[in-house]
Structure 1
């Protein structure tokens, strides 16, 4: 046996307790969350975007700068973070959910939001696309020639954030954040209400007509479907408000929405079964200490879930 290793292949020695704790807890998730949060804050406070050249007579960036936004950053946090957290905790508490379910519900949405924010800001700063209200932010110096590519140097605005934020148009951060938080909430509700679970009443080989009736029965519960769609409608309204304020165009908003929704789904599926699973209302078991023969989390594969459901 190699020095410093136990019989089951785990790392021994001084760091063995730390290794076991890391493997038998959500430590990696919290470390990843801390890393993402640190990265996001660093970008927010210390990174300026790439500044594309522009024309002072470009009508696409000549829209007015809205001093009062329809959904300011503070309210986006309320709508996409605090309201979803309240709804998830209220639902879990109302049905007496266990501590593990509370834990992964919160952890999943937290990771979705911080990952969406970090990825969005990285892309924003690298692309450096001008906002529709760039000229109102920049306030070009008098005499700047039209039909000539100019740079940041011709701007007379002295407010650092107001000026440099004019090159952070793509993708929309409000949209990605809203669809990450409210999109996760929509997935959570869909899993808890089991709107995609096909109930076949226990028959082994349903006929096509029976299967069609079952599908109609499941998909006919419009009330539950509308409950799950409501968070997505809220996210869409937040995204649309960014076009109304001339902070973004449709391309920015749609890309941000797709990015946020994709990350929300990815984060949700790390902790929950697929929505068509009979057990979609319960999260995967938490990590457990690695045994001699199995060092997995005890997570079921999708095909195993399907086998159990039958």
Structure 2
């Protein structure tokens, strides 16, 4: 089958957009932040400046992006498409599914960390909140408080109890100085949660790690009922109640399976798979507090950004964990790859994802679903 160039180009453009979002965040980081006024007697910004961070930026990238990317690749390479695939399925279809799950897994990860990075960097520059170690970075000229005074009503208590501007600082290193006004929100927190929570959601999806869930089943006359298998080792599958000799529906009332037997909890050890990335994100956040880089609220809000970006990006490319059987969404249709008009229900269509001159392959003949 010859893939549609139009469709392939639309997903290449997805990658371009994701990279552009990350580049925007990196570009914004070079802008001088807003300098919020501060007081020289403010104890919340008087912590010492720690030169060696527990989690430097390069290690954050490894933990929040590189390691999740490697794990996603290995899971797709080894476990996809899973044991439900027929042994007669061609190798080409199997490798197509592996590549598709790998691509969507990486696109979701890229969107998550890129969006969190861009939002965090923009907010840092806009708010200009002092870090807990600002005074150590600033090296203020204490004798010139009156010259740099911007506000405050504390002169009756102390001449230093004033709001002063950043011009009072004598720090020669502009990098250290400007970074002192980028406390809100925490970039380490948002980035780590964006990458590591996304990894947790991905692993939970692939290995069905979720609280048992019963999807709603609207009543129809064609809805199959559940019958207990005569062999307890066999799984319970939906089937129509039929007479084994006539192959027609029986007049006797069909058997049903109790609700408690329609779902089961995963093995408890699988929680370790889900919790390790989360625990790593929590540890990274804690280092920003112990290294005096962020206030508590900065870390909480940065974590919130990362959590929202991770969930949004996962659901953008993947089915719900409890109802998706570990799969990502299918490909867009060829004709709807770049957008749809008013009144069109979605981005899939009957024509599949092959090129126009080869209508026989792909989704339209149902082989892709079998993979």
The answer to whether the superposition gives a TM-score over 0.5 is yes
What is the rounded CA distance, in whole Å, between the counterparts of 1:280 and 1:127 in structure 2?
43
Asked whether 1:269 is paired with 2:315, we answer yes
Equivalent residue in structure 1 for 2:347, among 284, 297, 301: 297
> What pairs with 1:227-238 in structure 2 (closer than 5 Å)?
227-238=273-284
Would you say the 8 A contact 2:19–2:114 is kept in 1? Answer: no
Q: Which has the larger radius of gyration?
A: 2
Task: Describe the SS at the equivalent of 1:290.
Answer: coil
Asked whether 1:118 is paired with 2:114, we answer no
Deviation readout 1:17-62 (Å, 9 max, x if unpaired): xxx82696314422321321231121122x1111110000100000
Equivalent residue in structure 2 for 1:81, among 44, 47, 65: 65
Would you say the 8 A contact 1:195–1:225 is kept in 2? Answer: yes
**1:226 Cα shift?**
2.0
> What pairs with 1:192-211 in structure 2 (closer than 5 Å)?
192-196=206-210, 198=213, 201-202=236-237, 210-211=258-259
Higher deviation after alignment, 222-231 or 69-78: 222-231
What TM-score do the two structures reach when normalised by structure 1?
A: 0.81
More helix as a share of residues: 1
Higher deviation after alignment, 82-91 or 55-64: 82-91
Would you say the 8 A contact 1:62–1:134 is kept in 2? Answer: yes
Paired residue for 1:92? 76
**1:117 Cα shift?**
0.2
Would you say the 8 A contact 1:25–1:286 is kept in 2? Answer: no
> What pairs with 1:160-239 in structure 2 (closer than 5 Å)?
160-196=174-210, 198=213, 201-202=236-237, 210-212=258-260, 217-218=264-265, 221-239=267-285
Higher deviation after alignment, 195-204 or 174-183: 195-204
Paired residue for 1:282? 327
Two-structure CA RMSD over aligned residues (Å): 2.6
Moved over 6 A (4+): 203-207, 291-295
Deviation readout 1:90-125 (Å, 9 max, x if unpaired): 111112452111111111101111110000111111
**1:147 Cα shift?**
0.4
Would you say the 8 A contact 1:157–1:163 is kept in 2? Answer: yes
Would you say the 8 A contact 1:24–1:290 is kept in 2? Answer: no
Deviation readout 1:224-273 (Å, 9 max, x if unpaired): 12211110110010001100000012111111111101101100101101
Paired residue for 2:246? none
What TM-score do the two structures reach when normalised by structure 2?
A: 0.69
What is the rounded CA distance, in whole Å, between the counterparts of 1:81 and 1:23 in structure 2?
25
What is the rounded CA distance, in whole Å, between the counterparts of 2:169 and 2:62 in structure 1?
34
**1:294 Cα shift?**
6.4
Paired residue for 1:16? none
Would you say the 8 A contact 2:137–2:176 is kept in 1? Answer: yes
What is the rounded CA distance, in whole Å, between the counterparts of 1:192 and 1:297 in structure 2?
24
What is the rounded CA distance, in whole Å, between the counterparts of 1:173 and 1:206 in structure 2?
53
Uncovered stretches (5+) of structure 1, i.e. residues with no partner: 1-19, 300-310
